[in-house]
Amino acid sequence: MQTLAIRGGRVLRPDMTVTEADVLVDREGGDIVEIGPDLDGDETLDATDGLVMPGLVNAHTHVAMTLLRGYADDKPLETWLREDIWPVEAALEPADIEAGAELGMVEMIRSGTTAFADMYFEIDRTAAAVDRAGTRAVLGHGAISAGKDDEAARADIEESVAMAAQVDGAADGRVSGAVMPHSLTTVTPELLEFAAERAHEKGVPVHYHANETRDEVDPIVDERDQRPLAWARDLGLCGNDDFFAHGVHLDDSEIDLLAETGTGVVHCPASNMKLASGMAPVQRLLDAGATVGLGTDGAASNNDLDLFDEMRDAAMLGKLAADDASAVAAPDAVRMATAGGADVLGLDTGRLEPGAAADIAVVDFDAPHLTPGHDLVSHLAYAVRGSDVRHTVCDGDILMRDREVLTLDEEAVVERAAERARALVERAE
């Protein structure tokens, strides 16, 4: 067994306590072997002055949208998608997806994120980028019926089913597939039901956007006299490891339904604030026992992929939403970004314990903005920035050591992405 020892630091435990310990990793098996004092390995990562914590889980993004960062801002969702984003996405080429995905993965590795769920196009290109980057991902082709005839819309869902099977197991098993109809309002009811049936036949989850804006929720309620997620459950979209992004506008009956069915909810606070979509009832979801993770959404509505920002936003916005400063406390925010996200995606990550996947971030606390260190969990939620991450490890492999990304050529990735983004915009206009 080839081992990696992460030595000299403190360790964040699943119960959110912090203890002094080393972490020993089996590099070939990709899992954690032991956590305890004085552990030696074939290779060592120095965690002095650092906190060893689970790699963060970005449970909802569109990673190649890094190419559209800053392309269109300051508009509400529907206008932003229809006037700006969908027209430019129509000009995307497969090589753009790969370049944008690599850029996003450099950004995620540099800020301690080791796993993500992605809904986009040309997902074989994203899977290839995941393979090179060394990260872990749940990938799905995003299918939209809007603007398509019945046949083309059905073919799009079929493509989502086929692509989920195609990418499943890629990157030495670090990629899994999911069927991803875009949302409850942009895919026809028949095709939503069909997507759920086909996904569950194949044993993969369904992932979609739901209850993001009032403009999306109100017509469903008016037309069907039913809450959107009760309708989604009737269509087969809740439970079975299924998960959805946003859940901003939820009533109590939907919160109970989500907890009862175990449907995963991905809270995307920065995107919800930027698009002025609203404030999700996160504390109520947590109180009900729902499975809640955090997502950045795409870099065009955030505008970065730093999950430390997301923890801070979730804690702050959660308090505003509940009108209660004790709501969404620091440990809740950290849990959502780690174990919560892993539970939403069905991954054996997000907790540092023997037998779990060795997906790890080491945060450097030797910094003025992290001094004094009264409470490291408080700092994780409120004060740490992605740039404080010193090392990133996924599946037992070192992806970043001392802030140098080892799996991708950062300079080349940035240059290629900037060039592809420039050419994309030129093609689209």
Ligand X SMILES: CSC[C@H]1O[C@@H](n2cnc3c(O)ncnc32)[C@H](O)[C@@H]1O
Binding to ligand X by CB under 6 A, coded x per residue (else -) over 93-132, reads --------------------------xx------------
- Nearest distance from C-beta of residue 29 to ligand X, angstroms: 34
Closer by beta carbon to ligand X, 111 or else 126: 126
Minimum CB–partner distance for residue 143 and ligand X (Å): 7
Binding positions for ligand X, 360-379, rule CB under 6 A: none
Q: Which of 10, 62, 154, 267 binds ligand X (CB under 6 A)?
A: 62
| Look-up of token digits 């690599």 | 102
Q: Are 91 and 370 in contact (CB under 8 A)?
A: no
Structure tokens at 173: 């098993």
Q: Which of 21, 22, 27, 89 binds ligand X (CB under 6 A)?
A: 89
User: Judged by CB under 6 A, how many residues of this single chain contact ligand X?
Assistant: 17
331's enclosing H/E stretch is: helix 330-335
In 68-191, beta strands by DSSP E? 113-120, 136-143, 175-177, 180-181
Quick check: 182 binds ligand X (CB under 6 A)? yes
| Range in contact with ligand X (rule: CB under 6 A) among 77-85, 166-174, 223-231, 408-416 | 77-85
Distances (CA, A) of 176 to 78, 167, 297: 30, 6, 19
What 3-state class would DSSP assign to 313?
helix
Q: How far apart are CA 111 and CA 120, in angstroms?
A: 22
* 270 or 360: CB nearest Zn ion: 270
Position among 69, 154, 209, 227 found at the interface with ligand X (CB under 6 A): 209
The beta-strand segments (E) located in 309-372 are 360-364
> Which of Zn ion, ligand X, none does 338 bind, CB closer than 5 to 8 A by kind?
none
DSSP H or E stretch at residue 26: strand 22-26
Q: What span, in angstroms and rounded, lies between the C-alpha atoms of 313 and 390?
A: 22
Q: Does position 297 bind Zn ion by CB under 5 A?
A: yes
Is residue 89 at the binding interface for Zn ion, with CB under 5 A as the rule? no
Residue facing ligand X at closest CB distance? 142
SS3 state of residue 291: strand
**Residues annotated within a binding site for substrate:** 89, 182, 212, 297
Q: Which is nearer to ligand X, 229 or 383 (CB)?
A: 229
Per CB under 5 A, 118 contacts Zn ion = no
Per the CB < 8 A criterion, the answer to whether 207 and 138 are in contact is yes
Per the annotation, where are the binding residues?
60, 62, 89, 182, 209, 212, 297
Q: Using the rule CB under 6 A, is 137 a contact of ligand X?
A: no
Residue recorded with tokens 């999911």: 178
Q: Which stretch binds ligand X (CB under 6 A): 38-46, 254-262, 296-304, 363-371?
A: 296-304
Q: Which spans in 323-375 are helix H?
A: 330-335, 341-345
Least distance (Å) between residue 266 CB and Zn ion: 9
d(CA 26, CA 34): 9
Out of 211, 301, 338, 349, point to the residue binding ligand X (CB under 6 A).
301
| Residue matched to tokens 């994780």 | 380
Closest CA to 117 of 286, 345, 282, 330: 345
- 212 touches, from ligand X, Zn ion, none (C-beta below 5 to 8 Å by class): ligand X
Closer to Zn ion at the Cβ: 156 or 297? Answer: 297
Q: Which stretch binds ligand X (CB under 6 A): 27-35, 95-103, 104-112, 295-303?
A: 295-303
DSSP 164-231: HHHHTTHHHHTEEE-BEE-BTTTS-HHHHHHHHHHHHHHT--BEEEES--HHHHHHHHHHHSS-HHHH
Any contact of residue 298 with ligand X (CB under 6 A)?
Answer: yes
Q: Which residues are annotated as a binding site for Zn(2+)?
A: 60, 62, 209, 297
- Binding residues for ligand X, rule: CB under 6 A, are 62, 77, 81, 85, 89, 119-120, 142, 144, 182-183, 209, 212, 271, 297-298, 301
Chain residues that interact with Zn ion, rule: CB under 5 A: 297
